[in-house]
Structures are given as C-alpha cells and as structure tokens.
Amino acid sequence: SYELTQPPSVSVSPGQTARITCSGDALPKQYAYWYQQKPGQAPVLVIYKDSERPSGIPERFSGSSSGTTVTLTISGVQAEDEADYYCQSADSSGTCWVFGGGTKLTVL
Amino acid sequence: EVQLVESGGGVVQPGGSLRLSCAASGFTFDDYAMHWVRQAPGKGLEWVSLISGDGGSTYYADSVKGRFTISRDNSKNSLYLQMNSLRTEDTALYYCAALHIVVVTAPYWGQGTLVTVSS
C-alpha cells in the first residue's frame, strides 16, 4: 500500500528554521496537506494544496514541493510550535487519503 | 460558521457494533466528499473511509474493509460510519472531515468522538 515517509523527530532552537520533509511516490501528482497536533487536541491544518496557508495560520509556516518530496518550513520557530506534524496526501488515483507517520517537533 | 460535530462514540465489547454520526453545517454538504479518519491512543492519524458527494462511491482502508460501512444523508447534512465486528485495535478517536469535490480548498475537520473497544 502507498506510504508517506516523515522523519520521526526534528529539533530546533527558538528563532531557528525547522524543516520537516515528507516523501511519497505520488506527491508529484497529488497535493499535500500539513497538520499540526498538540497533545489532547484535534489536528489543525497549517498548509493545504502544497503551499497555501489557511486564514489564521502565522506566516512563518510555509510549504513547498519538489518531485517526490514536500517540505513544511517553520521560520523563526517559537516555543508554541512544539507539536506533532503530519503530512497528508492521496494515493495515485486521487481518492484515498494517506498520512505520514508524523514528526515530533521539539523546540529546545 | 463551518461545523462538523461527531457523535456516537462509546465503549463496546469486541465483536460489537457502533454507529458514528457527523453533523455538518455552514457549507453546502453535497459539494463535499466526506472522510473518516481515526487516531489510536498515542499513535498517528489513519485514514478510514471516504464517500463521494452524492453517496454513490465509497472507499475503505484495508484494515476496516468488510466491517465498516460509510453512508451519508444529504437531506440531513449528515455522515455516518457503521462499525461492525469491532476489534480492540479499532479503539481510537474518530474524526470526520470534508473536502470540496471540485475546488482544492482547505478541508474541514471535526473534533472527534472516542470509540473504545474493550471487554
């Protein structure tokens, strides 16, 4: 079955830039979405359609795509950004959703 | 204001059944494909099922195929998930989500309902 691969963890100091990658064979054809999830809370969409930011999401969150890899970039990381981040896309048919395993972002 | 409100979760014994509901408001329901996504305690997000806007097409993850049935009632702006032959590994927080059929926009998500399968 189709999989999206994320690093289990990323650590950065406050004010630095965090980059979280997500790899999958169908990513050149399917849009990617990124979710932030803090403990005990529902996931919050931070990026959709590879690089679009929903209203209310800070400008420090951005997304990009290159070939089979998409990247969530958080510039000027703040302590409040510490959370689990999940990428999501669709299979090659564009119907069934697929999630990455999640990346725990630690702000040192 | 867009709202997706899940209900119907609870505690059920292995082999039992449960029906989840998701009430939608604030958007044109039948313009949206609807998904169920779950998250087991301490685990990641797992896609469960999808139904098209008119209800004519349904898709399932291999882990639930043959046991779960997704349906919708567009006259009631409601989504359902009938879960049969429940297993302990089905224990999770179940979210409903909506994605526009034509325009690529931000999907809507609910807050989830908890299903616990335990003897």
The yes-or-no verdict on residue B90 having pLDDT over 90 is yes
Among B47, B105, B112, the residue with its CB nearest the CB of A97 is B47
Decide if A24 contacts A68 (C-beta within 8 A): yes
Nearest CA-CA distance, residue A96 and chain B, Å: 7
The yes-or-no verdict on residue A95 having pLDDT over 90 is no
Nearest CA-CA distance, residue B85 and chain A, Å: 23
Nearest CA-CA distance, residue B86 and chain A, Å: 22
For A8-58, how does the pLDDT look when each residue is reduced to its tens digit (9 = 90+)? Answer: 999 999 999 999 999 999 999 999 999 999 999 999 999 999 999 999 999
Q: Find chain B residues with C-beta within 8 A of A96's C-beta.
A: 47, 50, 59, 61
Owner of token pair 């400008």: A59
Residue of chain B whose alpha carbon sits nearest to that of A49: B104
Q: Find chain A residues with C-beta within 8 A of B46's C-beta.
A: 99
Average model confidence (pLDDT) for chain A? Answer: 96
Among A42, A49, A99, the residue with its CB nearest the CB of B47 is A99
CA distance A1 to B47: 13
Span B48-60, mean pLDDT?
96
Residue B76, CB half-sphere, CA atoms under 13 Å: how many?
A: 9
Decide if B108 contacts B2 (C-beta within 8 A): yes
Interface contact flag, A97 B35, Cβ < 8 Å? yes
- Going through chain A in order, the beta strands assigned E by DSSP cover 9-12, 18-23, 33-37, 44-47, 61-66, 69-74, 83-90, 97-99, 103-107
pLDDT at A69: 97
The yes-or-no verdict on residue A94 having pLDDT over 90 is no
Task: Tell me the percentage of chain A whose pLDDT exceeds 90.
Answer: 94
Span A58-82, mean pLDDT?
97
The yes-or-no verdict on residue B7 having pLDDT over 90 is yes
- Residues of A near B (Cβ–Cβ under 8 Å) read 1, 31, 33, 35, 42-43, 45, 48-49, 52, 54, 84, 86, 88, 95-102
Span B29-35, mean pLDDT?
96
The CA distances from residue B45 to A46, A59, A84, B48, in Å, are 16, 25, 11, 10
CA distance B119 to B109: 30
Span B4-22, mean pLDDT?
98
pLDDT at A85: 98
